[in-house]
Amino acid sequence: MNVQKSFTRGSEGGTTGWSGTLYLVGTPIGNLEDMTFRAIRILKEVDIIAAEDTRQTRKLLTHYEIATRLVSYHEHNKQASGIELIRLLKEGQSIALVSDAGLPAISDPGADLVASAVEQDICVVPVPGANAALSALIISGLPTDRFSFLGFPPRDRKPLSQWLQKHRKQEGTIICYESPHRVGKTLAAVREHWGDRPIAMVRELTKRHEEAVRGTITECLQWLEEHPALGEYCLVIAGFNRSEAGEGQDEDEEKPWWDGMELAEHVKRYEEQTGDRREAIKKAAIDLGRPKRDVYNELIQK
């Protein structure tokens, strides 16, 4: 059992009075003004700042005239660097852990350092700050009383399908991150497995080009067709609605009408509806989350 009294050192059953403190310091996710007074003070007072990207963090430190020693701690050196940081903490030095943006230990290797510190009875103190997931959630217009953060979806198709199937009936609002070059494919897969749910597609939070696109997944895919994806995205997706889906509904009924259909037949169906082959290719491309050019090239090769 580990009981931590963050500001009372040496308490029974908790952290010892001889170790330093590991501070988890929130940093801006875009706008440098989103830095708290406390975060600036802590970064000036600690012995060491451990950063995911020292070049990026140095810009922040220069802006606020912080001269504290800076070391690297990231996914590729976390084992060796983590051991050294724990050693320094046990010797009594205080360390601030920061990520590239936002709160450390969320979708980054900082979680491993925190786990090691807790195992060693080292005091771990949060210094709250900006967070992209929660910032996107509160502007999404979707329910905030219950939500789940799922990090980055798997990249490959099969693991992504398994991931989507696993979380399909989650009833709270779902938040995840996605890169600009994958967001279209991911949204198409989400629609295929979860249906055409309400969503907020948020990017460039706190920056000059901050943007929130709200609507159904289909509407957001259409938006991406006309406005190429730029910047990292935070996807806020409505949770599973039992009353609308119907309990006991057959799994096959939730699949899109074009599931398993050959591409040529998929396009042909739309062409029969619209009388326009170019429009049919565009609609099929949106369904599949693929560029129109790729769909066109695949059709002419057959």
Q: What is the pLDDT of residues 29-78, one digit of tens each?
A: 999 999 999 999 999 999 999 999 999 999 999 999 999 999 999 989 99
Q: Which domains does the chain have, with CATH numbers?
A: 21-130 (3.40.1010.10), 133-241 (3.30.950.10)
Helix axes 217-226, 183-194, angle to 10 degrees: 160
Average pLDDT over residues 69-94: 94
The answer, yes or no, to whether residue 12 has pLDDT greater than 80, is no
Give the relative orientation of helices 183-194 and 277-288 as an angle to the nearest 10 degrees: 80
Predicted pLDDT at 13: 36
Secondary structure class of 178 (helix, strand, coil): strand
Cα separation, 44 vs 53, in Å, equals 18
Lowest mean pLDDT, pick from 1-15, 31-45, 73-87, 231-245: 1-15
Predicted pLDDT of residue 271: 85
Residue whose pair of structure tokens reads 């693991």 in the numeric block = 159
Write out the E strands in 163-210. Answer: 173-178, 198-203
pLDDT for the residue 8: 72
Question: CB-side exposure of 93: number of CA atoms within 13 Å?
Answer: 16
Q: Specify the range with the lowest mean pLDDT, choosing from 13-27, 209-223, 240-254.
A: 240-254
Residue 15 has pLDDT above 50, yes or no: no
**Mean pLDDT, the chain, as a whole number?**
89
H-type alpha helices, 120-182:
132-140, 157-167
